[in-house]
Structure 1
Amino acid sequence: MSNVAAEQTISQEKINFYRENGFVQMDNLLSTQELEELREYMAEVMEAEGGHSTQTDKKGGTYYRVLNQKVNTWRDHGGMGKYSFHPRFAEIARCLTGAKGIRFFHDHALLKMPGDSKPTPWHQDLVFWPMNETGALSIWIALDDVDENNGCMMFVPKSHTAGKLTPINLVDPTDINEYVKGTEIAQQQPVKVPMKAGSCTFHDGLTFHYAHANVTEKPRRALAIIYMPDGTTYSGVSHLITDNLDLKENEPIRGRMFPLLAVEVE
């Protein structure tokens, strides 16, 4: 592990940018060693059959053409858990949000496959998560160099101020811009975020985001981890992560599946 990666902190400039715009890019989050290790772990977990993680669609399915995705990979591979629960990533998330504590919600390995690839349409994340409060966010770590040819991300600045909108079907999407016509958000120009492998973005769960199709010959690999401020409460909405866990509506989401990863030092 390089000293740069081990000692990396988040600047106030980055924090201010995130809070104003709803996303921020950070270069060189992972050292070369960490990047190679995470690539190996992800390959192992994606190739494994069965287990406790969830493959959201099979090859040939309509969603698979948007994303080949496994959720909660940490449950099947300790190496993935090392990164999904990484205290450095969680502490950056805590600083960005200003939360007293940050809890893990879930991870997902995201492969945008070559061939018949489809874009990930403009959408918000938080509208799918069973949370009453806002503030939850994602880190999206690039395991490959990403640009518009293989599925880099785009964000609409300040769109996190729109509040919760209608969920977008990622296979048969509606135009999210229809919900913000006539507002300042509609005037914002989307920002394309190409990155080198080992870099990342953080984005608020309400920020409009999109990923290009993959027109290259190789999968585009990324690891996303979702965090929530400690004290976030359960809305009762059905979700594959929280279903069958006997969570109580309007009570904090916590327990063995949602560890506290970072706390403010008094």
Structure 2
Amino acid sequence: MAKEFKMIPSDDEIQSLERDLRFHATENDNPSWLTSDQIADFNRTGYVAPIPIFDLNEIADIRCYFDDLLDQVTAQGGNSYSISSAHLKYGRVHDILTNQRIVDHVADLLGENVIGWGSHFFCKMPRDGKAVAWHQDASYWPLSPSKAVTVWLAIDDADEQNACMKFIAGSHHHGHMTYRPSGSHEDNVLNQTIENPQQYGDTVFNPLAAGNVSIHSDLLLHGSEANESDRRRCALTLRYCAADVRAELGWNEKGVQVRGKDESGHWSNVPRPATD
């Protein structure tokens, strides 16, 4: 029987933990899938993009699957942002999290022992009015040390018109940043806001064609505008860390061993859900 974990820890619970929130640069002189220049760019800017993963037919199939899943979730009272930790519930999302084409690129950044632990659909419906304020992923995660990345899989084409993601290049070198809670009146999908992001670097937009991914450090400052277009913008975020990372608040129960070994047995290596 798996232990229970805290799905959404409180801010106080996260901040009370002792964590190593320094950027740990990738040292890989012989990457298998990324180029040496891409490794250098990741260390310098905090992200690498675009990376083609799924062809047009494959991503069309994933999109149809998500459309059906979204219909089910909204019929049960959820919304387009509420499909979280999806690999624990849905077999096909588990399949994407463990897809070796994705894991190959992640392993070039994190090493040969990799855990996949998170999966969350961020689907901005046409003119939904909600932005994702500037934030760092590490602020939300009870993980240490900070050797974790997010893979952002574009299910729909994402560009500036329908609110693609944006980064502050190089901001991951500043460590963990001070943020303020977001008020309900701000229409922020999340609940944290980092002010004056330009003090940490230049803004770079991250347009991606459907089927492509970007990979960014958990310390990279990023966000997205509200989608004011007539087109949907859906993505699946997949979260990975090195196997030597430790998770508090029971979050190790979310983990799937996707590459190499977990010698300590810290991560539970949850099996694929039998059905969707």
TM-score by length of 1: 0.74
Amino acid paired to 1:207: L
Q: Distance in 2 between matches of 1:187 and 1:81?
A: 35
Q: Distance in 1 between matches of 2:271 and 2:225?
A: 31
CA deviation after TM superposition for structure 1 residue 26, in Å: 2.1
- Which of 33, 36, 46 aligns to 2:70? It is 46
Does residue 1:28 correspond to 2:58, yes or no?
A: no
- Which of 146, 171, 194 aligns to 1:176? It is 194
Q: Distance in 1 between matches of 2:163 and 2:91?
A: 28
Question: Are the aligned partners of 2:252 and 2:268 in contact in 1 as well (CA < 8 Å)?
Answer: no
Amino acid paired to 1:43: D
CA deviation after TM superposition for structure 1 residue 101, in Å: 1.0
- Name 2:36's counterpart in structure 1: 12
Q: For residues 168-214 of structure 1, give each alpha carbon's deviation from its aligned partner in whole angstroms, at most 9, with x where no partner exists.
A: 54555665245x8xxxx725211111121111110000000011211
Amino acid paired to 2:61: E
Q: For residues 211-230 of structure 1, give each alpha carbon's deviation from its aligned partner in whole angstroms, at most 9, with x where no partner exists.
A: 12111223211111000111
- Name 1:221's counterpart in structure 2: 234
Question: Are the aligned partners of 1:156 and 1:207 in contact in 2 as well (CA < 8 Å)?
Answer: yes
CA deviation after TM superposition for structure 1 residue 258, in Å: 8.8
Q: Distance in 1 between matches of 2:44 and 2:35?
A: 14
CA deviation after TM superposition for structure 1 residue 45, in Å: 2.1
CA deviation after TM superposition for structure 1 residue 241, in Å: 7.2
Q: Distance in 2 between matches of 1:70 and 1:194?
A: 23
Q: Distance in 2 between matches of 1:221 and 1:241?
A: 27
Q: Distance in 1 between matches of 2:54 and 2:220?
A: 24
Q: Distance in 2 between matches of 1:162 and 1:129?
A: 18
Q: Distance in 2 between matches of 1:100 and 1:176?
A: 33
CA deviation after TM superposition for structure 1 residue 110, in Å: 1.3
- Name 1:263's counterpart in structure 2: none
SS in structure 1 of the partner of residue 160 of structure 2: coil
1:119-158 to structure 2, matched below 5 A, reads: 119-158=131-170
TM-score by length of 2: 0.72
Does residue 1:198 correspond to 2:211, yes or no?
A: yes
Q: Percent identity?
A: 23
Q: Distance in 1 between matches of 2:115 and 2:103?
A: 8
- Name 2:222's counterpart in structure 1: 209
Does residue 1:72 correspond to 2:85, yes or no?
A: yes
Q: Distance in 2 between matches of 1:80 and 1:155?
A: 26
Q: Distance in 1 between matches of 2:47 and 2:195?
A: 18
SS in structure 2 of the partner of residue 110 of structure 1: strand
Q: Distance in 2 between matches of 1:129 and 1:30?
A: 28
Does residue 1:117 correspond to 2:129, yes or no?
A: yes
Does residue 1:186 correspond to 2:199, yes or no?
A: yes
Q: 1:239 to 1:79 in 2, by over 3 A?
A: closer
Question: Are the aligned partners of 1:68 and 1:113 in contact in 2 as well (CA < 8 Å)?
Answer: no
Question: Are the aligned partners of 1:231 and 1:252 in contact in 2 as well (CA < 8 Å)?
Answer: no
Amino acid paired to 1:77: Y
**C-alpha RMSD of the superposition:** 2.9
SS in structure 2 of the partner of residue 108 of structure 1: strand
Question: Are the aligned partners of 2:81 and 2:123 in contact in 1 as well (CA < 8 Å)?
Answer: yes
Does residue 1:100 correspond to 2:100, yes or no?
A: no
Q: Distance in 2 between matches of 1:208 and 1:240?
A: 25
- Name 2:174's counterpart in structure 1: 162
SS in structure 1 of the partner of residue 116 of structure 2: strand
Bigger Cα displacement from structure 2, 12-21 vs 109-118: 109-118
CA deviation after TM superposition for structure 1 residue 253, in Å: 4.2
Q: Distance in 1 between matches of 2:193 and 2:220?
A: 15
Amino acid paired to 1:100: E
Question: Are the aligned partners of 2:125 and 2:233 in contact in 1 as well (CA < 8 Å)?
Answer: yes
CA deviation after TM superposition for structure 1 residue 113, in Å: 1.7
- Name 1:63's counterpart in structure 2: none
CA deviation after TM superposition for structure 1 residue 116, in Å: 3.4
